[in-house]
Structure 1
Amino acid sequence: MGASASVSLCVSLPELAPRCVFGVALETLREDGQMVCGIPLVLRDMVEFLNKNGMHHRGLFRLCGSVVRTRQLRQRWDSGERVDLEHDGDVPTVASLLKLFLRELPVPVVPEPQRKQLLFQVTEVNQSLRENLCCLPDDNLIILSYLIHFLSRVAAHSQSNHMPVENLATIFGPCIFQ
Structure 2
Amino acid sequence: MRKSLSTSLSDSLNTTRVFGIPLEEVQHSGQPGHEVPLLVRSIVEYIEEHGGLHLGLFLVNGNAERVEWLRQRYDSGVEVNLEKEADLASAVSLLRLFLQELPEPVIPAGLQAQIMQLYQDYSSEEELGRNMKYFLQQLPQVNYSLLRFLCRFLSGVASLQEESWSIGALAAVFGPDIFHLDTDVEDLKEQESVSRILAELLENQEEFFDSEDDDISNTNDYSSINDQEFEISDLTRIYMSALFTCA
TM-score, structure 1 normalization: 0.83
CA distance in 2, matches of 1:47, 1:17: 21
When Rg is computed on C-alpha atoms for both structures, the one with the higher figure is 1
Q: Contact 1:24 / 1:105 at 8 angstroms: preserved in 2?
A: yes
Task: Choose which of 15, 18, 42 in structure 2 pairs with 1:18.
Answer: 15
Task: Choose which of 97, 100, 106 in structure 2 pairs with 1:100.
Answer: 97
CA 1:101 to 1:82, structure 2 compared with 1: closer, same or farther past 3 Å? same
Task: Choose which of 156, 160, 174 in structure 1 pairs with 2:176.
Answer: 174
**Structure 1 SS opposite 2:137:** helix
Q: Contact 1:65 / 1:93 at 8 angstroms: preserved in 2?
A: yes
Identity of aligned residues (%): 38
1:118 aligns with 2:120: no
CA distance in 2, matches of 1:61, 1:119: 26
In structure 2, what residue type is equivalent to 1:157? Answer: L
CA distance in 1, matches of 2:172, 2:32: 27
Number of aligned residues:
162
CA 1:159 to 1:121, structure 2 compared with 1: closer, same or farther past 3 Å? closer
In structure 2, what residue type is equivalent to 1:140? Answer: N
The corresponding residue for 2:149 is 146
CA distance in 2, matches of 1:17, 1:148: 29
In structure 2, what residue type is equivalent to 1:84? Answer: N
1:81 aligns with 2:78: yes
- Between stretches 68-77 and 25-34, larger displacement belongs to 25-34
CA-atom RMSD in angstroms:
1.9
Task: Choose which of 136, 139, 146 in structure 1 pairs with 2:139.
Answer: 136
In structure 2, what residue type is equivalent to 1:155? Answer: A
Instruction: State the Cα distance separating 1:131 from its structure 2 match.
Output: 2.4
CA 1:25 to 1:34, structure 2 compared with 1: closer, same or farther past 3 Å? farther
Task: Choose which of 163, 166, 178 in structure 1 pairs with 2:165.
Answer: 163
CA distance in 2, matches of 1:91, 1:40: 19
CA distance in 1, matches of 2:82, 2:32: 18
CA distance in 2, matches of 1:59, 1:46: 18
TM-score, structure 2 normalization: 0.61
Q: Contact 2:106 / 2:147 at 8 angstroms: preserved in 1?
A: yes
CA distance in 1, matches of 2:119, 2:173: 22
Q: Deviations over 1:131-174 (max 9, x none)?
A: 221111111110000000000111112246x2211111111100
CA distance in 2, matches of 1:167, 1:139: 26
Task: Choose which of 45, 48, 58 in structure 1 pairs with 2:45.
Answer: 48
Q: Which has the higher contact order (CA 8 A, sep 6+)?
A: 1
